[in-house]
Amino acid sequence: MTGTNSINIGDRDYPVLSGSVGPDVVDIRKLYANTGKFTYDPGFTSTASCESGLTYIDGDEGILLHRGYPIGQLAEHSSFMEVAYLLLNGELPDKAEFDKFNYTITRHTMLHEQLATFYRGFRRDAHPMAIMCGVVGALSAFYHDSTDITDPRQRMIASHRLIAKMPTIAAMAYKYSVGQPFLYPKNDLSYTGNFLRMTFGVPAEEYEIHPAVERALDRIFILHADHEQNASTSTVRLAGSSGANPFACIAAGIACLWGPAHGGANEAALNMLHEIGRPERIPEYIARAKDKNDPFRLMGFGHRVYKNYDPRATVMQKTVREVFDALKVSDPVFEVALQLEEMALKDDYFVEKKLFPNVDFYSGVILSAIGFPTTMFTALFALARTVGWVAQWNEMISDPDQKIGRPRQLYTGPTQRDYIPVEQR
């Protein structure tokens, strides 16, 4: 972070700081002390809440970089485990580093056996995200030896545990909901292959992993690994800023991700595509999305940061075709999705507001073709985003400038008044 310029507010100069790329920021940390005024920015549309070296997004150009590497290149050539290493450690691993990391993650995939009993406390029809919030939060009760956040080694062990155990936790949430026995992880499988087997395998027979499906899902995980200071990541950072243990922080992130405006959007997008059902009905839904008096929005469209095509949506669209070809399936909702995208992108409303498909527009179509029920979609997102949450949490804890997050407010409630006893009200 460098700063040579300044900006004048009131009668004082405030430093303007530059990152390596992207908009400069005005350092207003002394604004309140100097002026007695706060800034007002609900939704943080103009506020940088931290310094970070993990992920860069240029929403106007549709660029997404992890540690400098474009998402398209990572999705094409890398693996989710390698991207996890990159986000955690800052550089791509060499062969020995990668093998060691892979080995470590693989050896942490099992859950404490007592956790299986913990699952049985949930109703059978519980949403997997509800189970994941509970189980991930409960990890701090099972792994006390990695909750001292002042110890870098414990922080790293907690990070590895979270990344490694998330597929096991998500798969068990699914198994519980369908009434099938939990499957233990198998160490000769890849991270993603293991997750597929724990989700779709049964003890009665061998599970055969389809290489194209394994590759597609691994790519989906890469596309969801991190996305700078989005709502759930900011939640993880805010929870962590109080010194809360890492498992509690990630559980907070999962809770935030569940919302339909964030991680729940892929489930909502697929439900919408099914509801539309036939290309002839698309104009009706586009009209509803444009109608100010109708709360309906095109799910999987629009983004706080991207005012251009979400680069992850480009990879997703290609991956749908690959999965359909590999599994020799077709799904009319994909045709609806393609035509909806085409029509929306030609419509003045969407053009003027710069509303493009986001990562969630196509991901539901692929996940459903692989066999995941819609209730698992956000759980898969949480699994992948754990890497980003953990990397951002580590970055925050290691930042000497880190303070407890404590926004201020514009108070519009009553001014001071005297208490009136109930019989006089």
Contact set with ligand ACO (CB under 6 A):
261-262, 265, 289, 297-304, 353, 355, 358-360
Annotated active-site residue 27? The verdict is no
Decide: 184 and 116 in contact? Cβ < 8 Å.
no
Q: Which of 303, 347, 399, 401 is catalytic?
A: 303
- Give the residue closest to ligand ACO by C-beta: 302
Q: Where are the beta strands (DSSP E) in 101-157?
A: none
* Local structure of 304: helix, strand or coil: coil
Q: How far is the CB of 375 from ligand ACO (least distance, A)?
A: 17
**In this complex, which beta carbon is closest to ligand ACO, that of residue 149 or of residue 265?**
265
DSSP for 270-293, written as a single string:
HHHHHHH-SGGGHHHHHHHHH-TT
Decide: 389 and 233 in contact? Cβ < 8 Å.
yes
- CA distance linking residue 295 with residue 288, whole number of Å: 8
Nearest to 383 by CA among 208, 173, 72, 113: 173
Q: How far is the CB of 93 from ligand ACO (least distance, A)?
A: 27
Q: How far is the CB of 307 from ligand ACO (least distance, A)?
A: 9
Annotated active-site residue 360? The verdict is yes
- CA distance linking residue 310 with residue 312, whole number of Å: 5
Q: What is the DSSP letter of 128?
A: H
- Report residue 376 as tokens: 């698992």
Element (H, E) at 306: none
Decide: 379 and 33 in contact? Cβ < 8 Å.
no
- CA distance linking residue 360 with residue 312, whole number of Å: 9
How many residues comprise the chain?
425
Q: Which of 274, 360, 401, 418 is catalytic?
A: 360
**In this complex, which beta carbon is closest to ligand ACO, that of residue 197 or of residue 262?**
262
- CA distance linking residue 419 with residue 19, whole number of Å: 52
Q: Tell me whether residue 330 is exposed, middle or buried, using C-beta atoms within 10 angstroms of its C-beta: 0 to 12, 13 to 18, 19 or more.
A: exposed
Give the residue carrying structure tokens 């709360």: 295
Query: Dihedral of the CA atoms 281, 285, 286, 287 (nearest 10)?
Result: 110
- CA distance linking residue 45 with residue 303, whole number of Å: 12
Return the active site residues. Answer: 303, 360
